[in-house]
A and B are shown apart, each in its own frame.
Chain A
């Protein structure tokens, strides 16, 4: 994994805006209207190449494929980062209830379980705002159905991940970029669907870990950087009703981290980065667990770098966590210094200030400037690209300060 050796490297959290033509092609393909698979693959490949070139033009040092292989059929979309996996796993019945309508489960001290998405505590507290189409919390159309695990989980996405990798590597080569990252969902986030096959939640979790390992391996074998998307590490807190003790929660989440580490056994840690966030929906986020309560859990993931939200009004103050927490030797952080959470484009000077705070605490070589969360689907495409531009400008400003007097 590249580190910021002579300037602050830039990257982002993964999702980028899909071109309208690709969104329409995804929609038609999902609806079974499109039959020309070859034409679809060509559209996809062209879009990935454009996205990588665009990132390079904006001086994003470590680009991604924008998650373009993770199908979205509408412009506003907050779910592709994990629901793509439902197309790549065997053992699922995809005609189950929408995940908002899973049976809500109450938690008890020492016995933590997740309730359903509609019972999230922030969502209940601000029910009227979440229900108001004009409030800005709107998350796009909800799928009519959801997956249920009804048999042994297997990875069936070999063709899909092969195409993703081929598209991305071709795009990187054409743009002359040495390193790129590709996202994959972590088991702790993927397993949050109904399950009638495995006896215990933990069995299902480990089955997810085993199945998804194949995708992780494919990405790493191709020489790419693997980014594990695991917001559930933080967002599960909001999905436990009533609010548990921090101690109980940490125990609960550590089981998920261990399952992830099991999936990563023997894989090259120096090309694995981990993405933590509190959910990218534009809600009030009053029930987000503080970073200080889960930072040690995050660092227990066997990754070489950690990506997290640090550029929005609910989490920006948490840079101070790194005054007390030691980043293990040889590891990097990718704090979010521009955010998906607002249409306002961050001023490059603010971006630089944010970068400098982290660089001063953990060392300039160990900071890669990134975004809070994926921009695609969360803000308008033109705003998303302008934010990456602001990110690169801010990183350049910070680099000038951090490497003053050299070169």
Chain B
């Protein structure tokens, strides 16, 4: 991983604005499932080429692929960073409720569980603001969320291969030596329904094992891997009522350990960790010791 020798290096957290044509192509592809796949891949390849060139023009030293391979069918979209994984995992069923309508779960001291997204504490406190389309808190459409109903497997080999090929070609043509690609961490990945694994912990580790295939592919290609795992911070808001910090740290360390398990033996010097907070996470400071991270 490059470090700031001589000047402050610039990078960013991952997602960049998809061109309208790609948003529309994603929407069509998601809706129909089939179509001219070759034309779509062509378009995606070119869009990644453009976005890497543009980052270079702006003086961004370590560009990403803008997460363009993570399908987004609307301009306003806050979820592609994780929802893309639903297409890359086997063992899921898509007939269930979205994450806002799933079962509400209450935490107790010593027994931290995540509730549904509608029951986030900040969302409950500012319910009227979140419900007001003019308030600026609108998050666009709510994606269907899957439920795990069988053994979790990684089936995204073709997709990640295409992402890597597109990005490496774009980097080469822009003359950029180092680029990063994001991938969802197990803590964030596991926040879907689970009807198969006995415990939350088992499910988190299953996510870690499955996603390891993607982490490895990105690193094997020589790219920097960025873990997107905001759940490490913003699960705090998804625990209702508010837990003790001690309980929360215990709960979260399991997820960090699962992540560390997923990257065992992988080159730490090309792994970066992204941890975002949502509103309501104010009391949590990023004190978790992530072996992978330079937070």
Contacts and interface: CB of A to CB of B under 8 A. Distances in A.
Interface of A: 75-76, 132, 134, 136, 138, 140, 282, 343-345, 347, 379-383, 386
A134 B134 CA distance: 9
Contacts of A383: 126, 129, 135
A138 B138 CA distance: 13
Given A134-B75, A345-B279, A379 B128 contact: no
Interface in B54-80: 75-76
B290 interface: no
Contact of A380 (B76, B137, B140, B279): B137
Interface in B109-137: 126, 128-129, 132, 134-137
Contact of A343 (B128, B136, B140): B136
Interface of B: 75-76, 126, 128-129, 132, 134-138, 140, 279, 282
A383 B131 CA distance: 13
The 8 closest A-B pairs by CB, nearest first: A380-B129, A380-B135, A382-B129, A76-B134, A136-B136, A134-B76, A382-B126, A383-B129
Contacts of A138: 134
Contacts of A134: 75-76, 138, 140
Contact of B128 (A136, A345, A382): A382
Contacts of A75: 132, 134
Nearest to B279: A344
Majority DSSP secondary structure for residues of A touching B? loop
Given A345-B279, A347-B282, A380-B136, 11 more contacts: A75-B134, A134-B138, A136-B136, A282-B136, A379-B136, A380-B128, A380-B135, A380-B137, A381-B129, A382-B129, A383-B129
B137 to A, nearest CB: 6
26 contacts: A75-B132, A75-B134, A76-B134, A134-B138, A136-B136, A140-B134, A282-B136, A343-B129, A343-B135, A343-B136, A344-B279, A345-B279, A347-B282, A379-B136, A380-B126, A380-B128, A380-B129, A380-B136, A380-B137, A381-B129, A382-B126, A382-B128, A382-B129, A383-B126, A383-B129, A386-B126
Contacts of B282: 347
A345 B136 CA distance: 13
Contacts of B138: 134
Contacts, number: 37
Contact of B132 (A282, A347, A380, A386): A380
Contacts of A140: 134
Contacts of A381: 128-129
Contacts of B126: 380, 382-383, 386
Nearest to B140: A134
B16 to A, nearest CB: 15
A87 to B, nearest CB: 25
A341 to B, nearest CB: 10
Contacts of B75: 132, 134
Nearest to A345: B279
B294 to A, nearest CB: 24
Nearest to B138: A134
A371 B75 CA distance: 32
Contacts of A345: 279
Contacts of A132: 75
A230 B135 CA distance: 26
A186 B279 CA distance: 38
A76 B136 CA distance: 11
B132 to A, nearest CB: 6
A169 B138 CA distance: 39
Contacts of B129: 343, 380-383
B110 to A, nearest CB: 29
B171 to A, nearest CB: 28
Nearest to A138: B134
A138 B279 CA distance: 23
A381 B131 CA distance: 12
Contacts of B279: 344-345
Contacts of A386: 126
Contacts of B132: 75, 380
A345 B126 CA distance: 11
Nearest to B135: A380
A75 B128 CA distance: 13
Most buried by A among B132, B134, B135: B135
B126 to A, nearest CB: 5
Contacts of B135: 343, 379-380, 383
A125 B140 CA distance: 25
A136 B135 CA distance: 9
Nearest to A137: B136
A321 B205 CA distance: 53
